[in-house]
Chain A
Amino acid sequence: MQTGPVIRNEPKITPELVAEHGLRPDEYQRVLDLIGREPSLTELGIFSAMWNEHCSYKSSKVHLRTLPTKGAHVIQGPGENAGVIDIGDGLACVFKMESHNHPSYIEPYQGAATGVGGILRDVFTMGARPIACLNALSFGAPGHPKTRHLVSGVVAGIGGYGNSFGVPTVGGSVRFHARYDGNCLVNAMAVGIAEKDKIFYAAASGVGMPIVYLGSKTGRDGIHGASMASAEFGEDADAKRPTVQVGDPFSEKLLLEACLEIMHKGCVIAIQDMGAAGLTCSAVEMGAKGDLGVTLDLDRVPCREEGMSAYEMMLSESQERMLMVLKPEKEKEAEAIFRKWGLDFAVVGQTTPGKRFVVRHGGDVMADLPIKELGDQAPEYKRPFISAAKPAAIDAEDVAAPTGIAEALERLIGAPDLCSRRWVWEQYDHIILGNTVQRPGGDAAVVRVENGPKGLALTTDVTPRYCEADPFEGGKQAVAECWRNLTAVGARPLAITDNLNFGNPERPEIMGQFVGCIRGIAEACKALDFPVVSGNVSLYNETNGRAILPTPSIGGVGLIDDFTKSASLAFKREGEAILLVGETTGWLGQSMYLRELCGREEGAPPPVDLIEERENGDFVRALILDGTATAAHDLSDGGLAVALAEMAIAHGIGAALNAAPDDIPAHAYWFGEDQARYLITVPQGKAEAVLGRARAASVPVWAIGTTGGDALTLAGERPILVTILRERFEGWLPAYMVGEVAKA
């Protein structure tokens, strides 16, 4: 039953070979039905590259469609290399977050470095110049033997790539938990600026147009990387090291400049970077999105190694490569630009009318496949899911009180998940380009847009332990906290990118976590007018059947019209009033207090009231923008006392706080993690007026203390010198990294 050209079929495709390519028997049957014959090995490789979870989103697509992706300022939602939003003045912000989890666990430096490289390419592929990077990192327990090695390698890799490429890494998050022991998470986010009417897309147009290969040469590195990212790890994880690619930020910087130059000169019709599944994925996506066929001639692909087969070239994940459809009349001009930058340039194929993906090599046709079915019509599953029973709320009265609030605060502020991340972000160049208004360590980073006065606020957030206890509330909370962090620096939150990290979707309980988190994210995005414009899904984060905590990282972008009005969390002056915005009930379920001091990871997470979030946030933002609030900080992990300590440590100014109200146990008041809350400071003379404005707006606000002195004094408790708090806060991570503490 042969159709189409005769394709040499050696070796024979055996069930073992099919399994090695990660295709299930029913998926292979689908291949057979689709092409009406046995595939060649190259074709099998192509199907495996396109239909794996990482590239096809086959388990997640049906749920991702439920996310709100539209908004007045959205120019491009999910489905392209990155999302695009309108930030006014003819400019657009292009951003996305993507995971590089599996490679980073196997080879932390290169895994993380190429993760940064990949996401930067996604952004400049669209015509944007990258202006900032962020990341969200999750590591195993500090005491696990691999953790220190992974932290060291991942941080050095992120820095090594971003610093050399020349983009500031301005923010991010780092957490530790035993559930990441066998699977660390490395989520990298890049943000760029482009002219709004000069955005470039992946969809090819026009028949007979030249398809051009640009950038570095193709080698044998990274073959099957995407398939690796679509399977669980077993004991043999280390043996997968050869599937990790090697990054070259020097080439990427050249590629950036060359790409922006040929885009500027009007040479480009369509452009796609070669990321996961390299040449295969980029060529198929360009064709499929443009409803065109693509023919590739592999004899013209620049190769780093001799004797590469069609199979190897199609599956290589060598870095720093691009595929473009150029305007034929501009081909020579584009080539001259690439030669100037010392990069490879080769016409390797053309667009065709037939919607077929044809690959030729050494005079033979190695693959001839229907392009739509490979690309946007890949398999899709509605996997069964079960939602775990929600844990009961924990009454604060049932949580042991500490010997003293001061002692508890000293321990919490030095805990692995709450202490300073300075050791990490000092390894990232966070000031290059000269636009970093707010550096790492605050609620959100703020970067000036071009020459100002506009600024972008950027942050990444998620609280995985909340997601584990209640995926729906956890999903809501991740979005709400991101929105809150942008608000706390005075920005108007605009849109998010989501990086959804979960375990094996073939297990209904994992799928239940995924579905629950998506529902929560969707609900919060709707309520906060905070659409999802790009994202990435990373499943199979499991080792020996043990999954990571559900970790939907949310990367948020907000806009501030005048960056000089942005607020930071540091107490600025002595004698200012400290105001607490938002309702405090003393919610200790799933709190850091419960985990770090009581050793319990239990209970329901704090519920998120999205109406309150919005009202409280809008109130705080207005106070920042009209210059009333002199400092602002969102309340999250560790609650009120930890937030106060952070504000005191930042500029070395203490504070005196009133005692906890009678109706809430002291430890629940100081360490509870109720949502929708902020701390702000205002000059003493303005406090009454602010409380009046709050009453008028029905926003709950209390004056709870005054800044000043060299200690943080919670009424009725032992005062703590700010210098001691700082020592605790700054001490743990550097000590841990030199092996002085195994664990807090």
Chain B
Amino acid sequence: MKSAVVVFPGINRERDMARTLELISGRAPAMVWHGEGELPAGTDLVVIPGGFSYGDYLRCGAIAARSPIMDAVRAFAARGGLTLGVCNGFQILCEAGLLPGVLMRNENLRFICRDVYLKVERSDTPFTRGYNAGQVIRVPVAHGEGNYIADGETIARLEGERRVIFRYSSPDGMIDPNWNHNGAINAIAGIINERGNVLGMMPHPENHVETVMGVTDGRRLFAGLVDALAQAA
């Protein structure tokens, strides 16, 4: 796996992401600065990590989405390249038009950092092949603006095309407002594009890969990507 982590000013989970990618794939990712016009040759996975790109000023993800490097990311995704956006990365993918919808402020208007439970809706994507459909995993969230929303038509389409990949759930997989910490519509935590090669998600699987954190449920997302790319090659 030859991954690239895109770094905008104010992104702050790039080190977490890079460490995880190296741990799981055995190869350190290329760190790509926002001002660069191209991705390194041979890149087969692009990751936009979490943080506060451009301080979340204007609107979270809005400025980063218009950065020079994003043209290269759009072209990469258009060629079918695997693209993962986590937290601020999800917000940037939405702002860049690679995924539909927006992330609004959490319903309770506060930043929330805690472990949440996610129901994995599908296992037939390159991102979730390491999980079973219906499986519940535990990963942390850390965001102030993770409340996913889109117009009714878009939501109906996302649901109809089974493009909701992760939903906030109870530990036993029930979709329940009490376990939906940010108020996202239909408890949406992560979605995929039509073609199935671009995933955006609010929770941080990269922070639950080592026993140091007590839980390792995030590992299989990255291990699955490694497998998918090995198979494709």
Of residues 158 through 186 on chain B, the ones whose CB sits less than 8 Å from some CB of chain A are none
| Interface contact A250-B111, CB-CB below 8 Å | no
A90 is an interface residue with CB less than 8 A from chain B: no
| Interface contact B10-A250, CB-CB below 8 Å | yes
| Interface contact B113-A426, CB-CB below 8 Å | yes
Answer whether A426 and B212 are a contact pair too, CB < 8 Å, given A164-B10, A249-B55, A431-B140.
no
Interface flags, B122-155, vs A, CB<8A=1, else 0: 0000000000000000001010100000000000
| Interface contact B52-A431, CB-CB below 8 Å | no
Query: Which A residue sits closest to B15, measured CB to CB?
Result: A433
Q: Which residues of B contact A428 (CB under 8 A)?
A: 111, 113
A254 is an interface residue with CB less than 8 A from chain B: yes
B95 is an interface residue with CB less than 8 A from chain A: no
| Interface contact B212-A432, CB-CB below 8 Å | no
| Interface contact B52-A435, CB-CB below 8 Å | no
Query: Which A residue sits closest to B13, measured CB to CB?
Result: A432
A429 is an interface residue with CB less than 8 A from chain B: yes
Of residues 233 through 255 on chain A, the ones whose CB sits less than 8 Å from some CB of chain B are 248-251, 253-254
| Interface contact B13-A426, CB-CB below 8 Å | no
Q: Which residues of B contact A430 (CB under 8 A)?
A: 113
Interface flags, A147-172, vs B, CB<8A=1, else 0: 00000000010011001111000000
Of residues 39 through 94 on chain B, the ones whose CB sits less than 8 Å from some CB of chain A are 51-52, 54-57
| Interface contact B213-A429, CB-CB below 8 Å | no
B194 to chain A minimum Cβ distance, whole angstroms, is 32
| Interface contact A164-B110, CB-CB below 8 Å | no
Answer whether A448 and B212 are a contact pair too, CB < 8 Å, given A164-B55, A248-B55.
yes
A156 vs B111: C-alpha distance when bound (angstroms):
8
Partner of A434, one of B56, B57, B113, B207: B207
A431 vs B114: C-alpha distance when bound (angstroms):
9
A563 is an interface residue with CB less than 8 A from chain B: yes
| Interface contact A253-B142, CB-CB below 8 Å | no
| Interface contact A250-B54, CB-CB below 8 Å | yes
Answer whether A434 and B16 are a contact pair too, CB < 8 Å, given A164-B52, A248-B55, A426-B112.
yes
Query: Which A residue sits closest to B16, measured CB to CB?
Result: A434
| Interface contact B111-A432, CB-CB below 8 Å | no
| Interface contact A156-B212, CB-CB below 8 Å | no
A15 is an interface residue with CB less than 8 A from chain B: no
Q: Which residues of B contact A248 (CB under 8 A)?
A: 55
B206 is an interface residue with CB less than 8 A from chain A: yes
Partner of B12, one of A160, A342, A432: A432
| Interface contact B57-A250, CB-CB below 8 Å | yes
| Interface contact B9-A250, CB-CB below 8 Å | yes
Of residues 16 through 33 on chain B, the ones whose CB sits less than 8 Å from some CB of chain A are 16, 19-20
Q: Which residues of B contact A433 (CB under 8 A)?
A: 15-16
| Interface contact B16-A432, CB-CB below 8 Å | yes
Centre residue among B114, B210, B212 by max chain A CB count within 10 A: B212
A250 vs B204: C-alpha distance when bound (angstroms):
21
A514 vs B28: C-alpha distance when bound (angstroms):
53
Of residues 265 through 312 on chain A, the ones whose CB sits less than 8 Å from some CB of chain B are none
A459 vs B51: C-alpha distance when bound (angstroms):
26
A250 vs B9: C-alpha distance when bound (angstroms):
8
A391 is an interface residue with CB less than 8 A from chain B: no
A404 is an interface residue with CB less than 8 A from chain B: no
A436 is an interface residue with CB less than 8 A from chain B: yes
A36 is an interface residue with CB less than 8 A from chain B: no
Of residues 445 through 465 on chain A, the ones whose CB sits less than 8 Å from some CB of chain B are 448, 452
| Interface contact A434-B111, CB-CB below 8 Å | no
Partner of A429, one of B10, B55, B111: B111
Q: Which residues of B contact A166 (CB under 8 A)?
A: 12-13, 51-52
Answer whether A163 and B142 are a contact pair too, CB < 8 Å, given A250-B57, A254-B9, A434-B206.
yes
Q: Which residues of A contact B210 (CB under 8 A)?
A: 434
| Interface contact A163-B55, CB-CB below 8 Å | no
A427 is an interface residue with CB less than 8 A from chain B: yes
A420 vs B204: C-alpha distance when bound (angstroms):
25
| Interface contact B12-A165, CB-CB below 8 Å | yes
Q: Which residues of A contact B57 (CB under 8 A)?
A: 250
| Interface contact A253-B113, CB-CB below 8 Å | no
A433 vs B213: C-alpha distance when bound (angstroms):
11
Answer whether A156 and B110 are a contact pair too, CB < 8 Å, given A342-B9, A431-B207.
yes
| Interface contact B110-A427, CB-CB below 8 Å | yes
| Interface contact B52-A250, CB-CB below 8 Å | yes
B98 to chain A minimum Cβ distance, whole angstroms, is 24
A260 is an interface residue with CB less than 8 A from chain B: no
Of residues 387 through 428 on chain A, the ones whose CB sits less than 8 Å from some CB of chain B are 425-428
| Interface contact B111-A160, CB-CB below 8 Å | yes
Query: Which B residue sits closest to A254, measured CB to CB?
Result: B9
Centre residue among B110, B113, B204 by max chain A CB count within 10 A: B113
| Interface contact A253-B111, CB-CB below 8 Å | no
Q: Which residues of B contact A425 (CB under 8 A)?
A: 113
| Interface contact A164-B56, CB-CB below 8 Å | yes
Q: Which residues of A contact B112 (CB under 8 A)?
A: 426-427
Partner of B52, one of A249, A434, A563: A249
A428 vs B211: C-alpha distance when bound (angstroms):
22
| Interface contact B20-A434, CB-CB below 8 Å | yes
Q: Which residues of B contact A249 (CB under 8 A)?
A: 52, 55
| Interface contact B12-A431, CB-CB below 8 Å | no
| Interface contact A432-B142, CB-CB below 8 Å | yes
A166 vs B113: C-alpha distance when bound (angstroms):
13
Partner of B10, one of A156, A253, A434, A564: A253
| Interface contact B19-A429, CB-CB below 8 Å | no
A130 to chain B minimum Cβ distance, whole angstroms, is 11
A430 vs B140: C-alpha distance when bound (angstroms):
10
Q: Which residues of B contact A431 (CB under 8 A)?
A: 113, 140, 142, 204, 207, 213
A469 vs B112: C-alpha distance when bound (angstroms):
38
| Interface contact A164-B9, CB-CB below 8 Å | no
A163 vs B140: C-alpha distance when bound (angstroms):
14
Q: Which residues of A contact B209 (CB under 8 A)?
A: 434
Q: Which residues of A contact B140 (CB under 8 A)?
A: 431
A557 to chain B minimum Cβ distance, whole angstroms, is 19
A positions within 8 Å CB-CB of B: 156, 159-160, 163-166, 248-251, 253-254, 341-342, 425-437, 448, 452, 563-564
Other than the given A160-B111, A250-B52, A426-B114, 10 more pairs (CB < 8 A) read: A163-B111, A166-B12, A250-B57, A253-B10, A427-B111, A427-B113, A428-B111, A429-B111, A433-B15, A434-B207
Top 10 nearest A-B pairs (CB, nearest first) are A166-B12, A250-B55, A164-B52, A429-B142, A434-B16, A429-B113, A250-B10, A427-B111, A159-B111, A431-B140
B positions within 8 Å CB-CB of A: 9-10, 12-13, 15-16, 19-20, 51-52, 54-57, 110-114, 140, 142, 144, 204, 206-207, 209-213
A-B contact pairs, 11 of them (CB 8 A): A156-B111, A342-B9, A427-B112, A429-B113, A431-B113, A432-B207, A433-B15, A434-B207, A434-B213, A437-B212, A564-B211
